[in-house]
Chain A
Amino acid sequence: MTDSDIGVAPPETLRAAVWGQFRKHRGAVFGLVVLVLLIVFSVLGPFVWGPEKLSVAEALKSKNLGSSFVHPMGTDQLGRDTMQRMMAAGKVSLAVGFVAMIIAIFLGTLVGVLAGYFRRLDGPLMRLTDMFLALPLIPLLLVMVMLFRDKIARNLGPEMGAFVLIVFAIGVTSWMHAARIVRGEVLALKEREYVLASRSIGATSRRVILRHILPNVVSPVMVAATLGVAEAIITESVLSFLGLGFPPDFPTWGRLLYEGLEYMQLYPERVIFPGLAISLTVLSVNYIGDGLRDALDPRIRGR
């Protein structure tokens, strides 16, 4: 309907158009709000709110409490405040999820574009992808963590070392699906007339890829990326559970979930809070991805 008064409206910038379309997707807006809230909770929460540090004996007196004014999410079996731990855990889990996803998407897109665009690279790169797909993920992660943990921890400290290692390990083992999707898209795109036209006027491969191909594979990449965040958060909790992730006093949502499992019958909130946080993150990221895909796709935008 905006098309009818073309003469009046100033031309829309791409950013405004994308945002306009994104806003129309209710789920996406909702997801964005939830995700921002979760990030604010984890990152800014500890500055606003934090109970004082108690000695062990004092803390134990207030163990296993339910929700109250002093402890909004209750306390755990050692009298530690659950909300404080949820905040600290959120920071780690969200960071792991997003950084690992960025690594995976970067690798996946790179491999996918190269394999799809350059026929000579297609065979070797796709066989490499197949090989990675065939590798059993958890044993591979275990070997990586075992081999490199001490070396990295010595240089970066145990916590930062674990973070770098886990993020890297998850990233390099979860790019394959993105690569396959991107390759498929690129194979189709590079036969399109506008690509041919661009090449015929002498555009280099680099320019064709950056200007014409990449913007058109953004939507499938977005979908793969959103799924990747969820997977990374869950893989991290598996690693922590096996004792190969972060040190045990370093909470993550996954670890809180596993710790709460034992007390599930007596104190269901121990599982509900971290579980809810993981689910909300995954769900909101998925919706944001959905909205972004619609918003970035020129064929859908404006409809």
Chain B
Amino acid sequence: MKLTTALLGAAAALAFAPAAFAERGADGNVNVLYWQAPSILNPYLSSGTKDVETASLILEGLAGFDDKGVVFARLAESVPTVENGGITADLTQITWKLKPGLLWSDGTPVTSADAKFTYEYCTHPEGGCAQAARYEGIAAVETPDDLTIVINFAAPKPNPYTAFVGGTSPILQAAQFANCLGAAASTCTDQNFMPIGTGPFVVTEFKVNDTVSLAANPNYRDPAKPAFATMTIKGGGDAGAAARAVMETGEFDYAWNTQINPEQQAQMTAAGKGVLLNGFGTLVERIEMNMTNPSPDLPEGERSTTKNPHPFLSDINVRKALSMAIDRQILVDIGYGSAGRPTCNLVPAPEMFASDNTGCLTQDMEGAKALLESSGWVDADGDGVREKDGMKLKILYQTSTNPVRQDFQAVIKDWWTELGVEVELKNIDASVFFGGDAGNPDTFQKFYADVEMYANNFDGTDPEPYLAQYKCDKIPGPDNQWQGENINRFCDPAYDALVDELSKTADLAKRGEIAKKLNDMLTKDSFVVVALVDRGRLSAASNTLGGVVLNTWDTELWNAENWFRMK
């Protein structure tokens, strides 16, 4: 017994040794693979994930999101809330305090002026800032002293953790970027390629669209971190090759976004050199039901508009039966393996906003058939297709061209055919489907089909803007050049009222409650949005790389300062 305990203790000491006795730069080099290569290291000039994530090693915000979606302090002393007085009761002001003694990597002190400058940099009218949404609704940023940043909002802001929070809105050094305001922003090559930051690493060499070489930041606030002296971020290849480089050949320690099919996942895991990490965010593959009539017999400009309700999908029993006939677990097994899980929710996470709606998870083909029978949809002429009042259940089902989506289409078509619904499939090149060109009939906004399938998610942790997309006034149509996020043409005054209530509510528990209700109104109460699979992120890490935690709410490299080499 005693021996066992002692052995266990020794084993534990060994296991934790690298982390416990780490010192800066002790673990040599770490190789990271971003198969989409970084092209710029200033996240304000690029919305590409690869650029934002790479830049997050160098540039930091006041706070970040952890792997649960909770805000934690980075450069700030603590996270301001209404309770600790950091946010005023009327939700129009938030006050951040910087940690004292912070230094930029060039040795100069970090002050509140840098934050104010960053705000001015991104909101400059001639700048074209890619992350302008993070600074929306701000009336002014004030700096009463060197360590205090006060943000005033133009209207009450229930979710104030947008500016300076997360990898998409880090603080830039005012001294370095002083001449890069407005139209000059994109011409400042040196600044954009080699920003001075407060993060664990500094850039030593940047080859555009190829390699970023980094070294540990000598002025990083934690003297023991990062454990790696240098980091190399390499670009190129595709998801499959990236996974192979970590999982099979072991050339790299970490590979970003290695979406591969379940068979390849199993095969590569068997090689034993690495692990596939998965994290679930808010990306949901779903089938959207068209509430309006897409018939090509209608004149152009009336197809898929609110003028004509859908002949049979406006019947909730049809929509419900279509959802009941789907076995979501099978879809996960076919398409995503460990990088997916079945879901019935439009908002699957974070936990406080996710409804406990699981009713759709088990397939109920007989129930679906009975539901259609009882609501008058019967196959009277024996051709295998149900009809009612001369209207046949005949569906055009479109999606983008993508091997997984075509597999899903084939399988779902089988189920719906069994249900007694005739299905015609159509796939469209992704650049056209998601292109948003108002002149093209094949975009997902135009929705010239009965149902369509794609995935969407929301930025950050707050689902309010996402749920607000389903308001009546967001319906795309010819009058707004088919711009609008309410793809289903769903319109319910009660829903709109609830969204307005959400925008006025600050209490987090109450917000969660309303968000769940809104989610249910779209999913299990109406089956307008038929969620299928909650798609996670899949990245690969070598078995020798420790401290990696996959984060879907912020950048994947959010805790690179904690990475270490396992010995």
CB distance from A242 to the nearest CB of B (A): 5
Q: Compute how far the CA of A259 lies from the CA of B405 in the bound complex, rounded to whole angstroms.
A: 12
Pairs across A and B, CB under 8 Å, 8 listed: A56-B327, A78-B411, A146-B442, A150-B441, A243-B428, A249-B410, A249-B413, A266-B263
Chain B residues with Cβ below 8 Å from A249 are 409-410, 413, 425
Interface string of B409-441 (1 = CB under 8 A from A): 111011100100000111111001000000011
Query: Are B406 and A259 in touch, CB under 8 angstroms?
Result: yes
Query: Are B407 and A77 in touch, CB under 8 angstroms?
Result: yes
Query: Are B327 and A78 in touch, CB under 8 angstroms?
Result: no
Asked whether any CB of chain A lies closer than 8 Å to the CB of B179, the reply is: no
Query: Are B263 and A64 in touch, CB under 8 angstroms?
Result: yes
Query: Are A56 and B425 in touch, CB under 8 angstroms?
Result: no
Chain A residues with Cβ below 8 Å from B267 are 265-266
Beta-carbon nearest neighbor of B448 in chain A: A150
Q: CB within 8 Å of B: which residues of A?
A: 55-57, 60, 64, 77-78, 80, 146, 150, 154, 158, 241-244, 247-249, 259, 262-263, 265-266
Chain A residues with Cβ below 8 Å from B442 are 146
CB distance from A69 to the nearest CB of B (A): 23
Chain A residues with Cβ below 8 Å from B413 are 249
Beta-carbon nearest neighbor of B363 in chain A: A57
Q: Compute how far the CA of A60 lies from the CA of B263 in the bound complex, rounded to whole angstroms.
A: 13
Query: Are A262 and B261 in touch, CB under 8 angstroms?
Result: yes
User: 5 closest pairs, A vs B, by CB?
Assistant: A243-B401, A243-B427, A248-B427, A248-B406, A247-B425
Beta-carbon nearest neighbor of B244 in chain A: A265
Query: Are A56 and B415 in touch, CB under 8 angstroms?
Result: yes
Interface size on B (CB < 8 Å)?
A: 31
Chain A residues with Cβ below 8 Å from B403 are 259, 262
Q: Compute how far the CA of A248 lies from the CA of B327 in the bound complex, rounded to whole angstroms.
A: 21
Chain A residues with Cβ below 8 Å from B410 are 78, 80, 248-249
> Given A56-B414, A248-B409, A78–B334 Cβ distance below 8 Å?
yes
Q: Compute how far the CA of A244 lies from the CA of B428 in the bound complex, rounded to whole angstroms.
A: 7
Query: Are A55 and B414 in touch, CB under 8 angstroms?
Result: yes
Known: A60-B330, A248-B410. 10 other contacts (CB 8 A): A56-B327, A57-B330, A64-B263, A77-B263, A78-B407, A242-B429, A243-B427, A263-B261, A263-B263, A265-B267
Query: Are A77 and B334 in touch, CB under 8 angstroms?
Result: yes
Chain A residues with Cβ below 8 Å from B425 are 247-249
Query: Are B418 and A150 in touch, CB under 8 angstroms?
Result: no
Query: Are B441 and A146 in touch, CB under 8 angstroms?
Result: yes
Chain A residues with Cβ below 8 Å from B440 are 146
A55, A146, A154, A266: the one contacting B264 at CB < 8 Å is A266
Among A60, A248, A259, A265, chain B packs the most CB atoms within 10 A around the CB of A248
B327, B424, B432: the one contacting A247 at CB < 8 Å is B424
Chain B residues with Cβ below 8 Å from A146 are 440-442
Beta-carbon nearest neighbor of A249 in chain B: B425
Chain A, interface SS category: loop
CB distance from A13 to the nearest CB of B (A): 51
CB distance from B411 to the nearest CB of A (A): 5
Q: Compute how far the CA of A263 lies from the CA of B263 in the bound complex, rounded to whole angstroms.
A: 8
Interface string of B224-264 (1 = CB under 8 A from A): 00000000000000000000000000000000000001011
CB distance from A84 to the nearest CB of B (A): 14
> Given A248-B425, A248-B427, A262-B403, A56–B411 Cβ distance below 8 Å?
yes
Asked whether any CB of chain A lies closer than 8 Å to the CB of B296, the reply is: yes
Query: Are B427 and A77 in touch, CB under 8 angstroms?
Result: no
Chain B residues with Cβ below 8 Å from A77 are 261, 263, 334, 407
Q: Compute how far the CA of A215 lies from the CA of B429 in the bound complex, rounded to whole angstroms.
A: 45
Q: Compute how far the CA of A64 lies from the CA of B334 in the bound complex, rounded to whole angstroms.
A: 11
Q: Compute how far the CA of A273 lies from the CA of B414 in the bound complex, rounded to whole angstroms.
A: 25
Chain B residues with Cβ below 8 Å from A247 are 424-427
Q: Compute how far the CA of A223 lies from the CA of B222 in the bound complex, rounded to whole angstroms.
A: 75
Asked whether any CB of chain A lies closer than 8 Å to the CB of B27, the reply is: no
Chain A residues with Cβ below 8 Å from B400 are 243
Chain B residues with Cβ below 8 Å from A259 are 403, 406
Chain A residues with Cβ below 8 Å from B409 are 248-249
Query: Are A248 and B426 in touch, CB under 8 angstroms?
Result: yes
Interface string of B267-300 (1 = CB under 8 A from A): 1000000000000000000000000000010000
CB distance from A113 to the nearest CB of B (A): 39
Q: Compute how far the CA of A57 lies from the CA of B428 in the bound complex, rounded to whole angstroms.
A: 27
Chain B residues with Cβ below 8 Å from A154 are 296
Asked whether any CB of chain A lies closer than 8 Å to the CB of B77, the reply is: no
Q: Compute how far the CA of A242 lies from the CA of B406 in the bound complex, rounded to whole angstroms.
A: 13
Beta-carbon nearest neighbor of A255 in chain B: B406
Chain B residues with Cβ below 8 Å from A243 are 400-401, 426-429, 432
Beta-carbon nearest neighbor of B440 in chain A: A146
Q: Compute how far the CA of A64 lies from the CA of B266 in the bound complex, rounded to whole angstroms.
A: 13
Beta-carbon nearest neighbor of A242 in chain B: B429
Chain A residues with Cβ below 8 Å from B264 are 265-266
Query: Are B327 and A57 in touch, CB under 8 angstroms?
Result: yes
Beta-carbon nearest neighbor of B260 in chain A: A262
Query: Are B429 and A244 in touch, CB under 8 angstroms?
Result: yes
Query: Are B429 and A60 in touch, CB under 8 angstroms?
Result: no
Chain B residues with Cβ below 8 Å from A263 are 261, 263
